[in-house]
């Protein structure tokens, strides 16, 4: 459940790999993954894990869509789900759910 206005939080590694997630508790942080784990802020950790997975080439799309892209993408997804007559949809990825 959202407790406040959500903003996009971005984590960027020294090599330039970035990951994002939405949060209602944004923070600035510069340090190691171990230090981030000690702080215990889930959204920051999720963004950092997205960046780390991108760096390790385990995932590709770690930056959220901007502009009109989400609206266009959602229409395409809805059309596709209707075509395949999907009964259930699952969300897969590192996104905070607290």
pLDDT of residue 96: 46
Asked if residue 55 belongs to a domain, the reply is yes
pLDDT of residue 58: 92
What is the chain's pLDDT, residue by residue, as a tens digit (98 residues)?
456 678 889 999 999 999 998 888 888 989 998 999 999 888 889 899 999 999 999 988 888 877 788 788 888 989 999 999 998 887 666 654 43
Asked if residue 21 belongs to a domain, the reply is yes
Overall number of domains in the chain: 1
Q: How far is CA 32 from CA 13, 45, 60, 88, in A?
A: 10, 11, 22, 39
Asked if residue 69 belongs to a domain, the reply is no
Measure the CA–CA gap between 46 and 72, rounded to whole angstroms: 26
pLDDT of residue 71: 84
Asked if residue 74 belongs to a domain, the reply is no
Asked if residue 83 belongs to a domain, the reply is no
pLDDT of residue 68: 82
Asked if residue 12 belongs to a domain, the reply is yes
Asked if residue 17 belongs to a domain, the reply is yes
> Which domain, by its residues, includes 13?
7-64
Asked if residue 98 belongs to a domain, the reply is no
């Amino acid at each position: 459940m959202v407790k406040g206005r959500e903003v996009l939080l971005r984590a960027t590694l020294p090599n330039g790999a970035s990951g994002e997630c939405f949060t209602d508790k944004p923070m600035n942080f510069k340090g190691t993954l171990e230090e981030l784990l000690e702080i215990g802020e889930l959204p920051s950790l999720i963004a950092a894990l997205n960046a780390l997975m991108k760096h390790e080439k385990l995932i590709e799309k770690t930056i959220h869509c901007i502009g009109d892209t989400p609206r266009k993408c959602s229409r395409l997804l809805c059309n596709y789900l209707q075509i395949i007559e999907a009964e259930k949809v699952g969300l897969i990825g590192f996104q905070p759910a607290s």
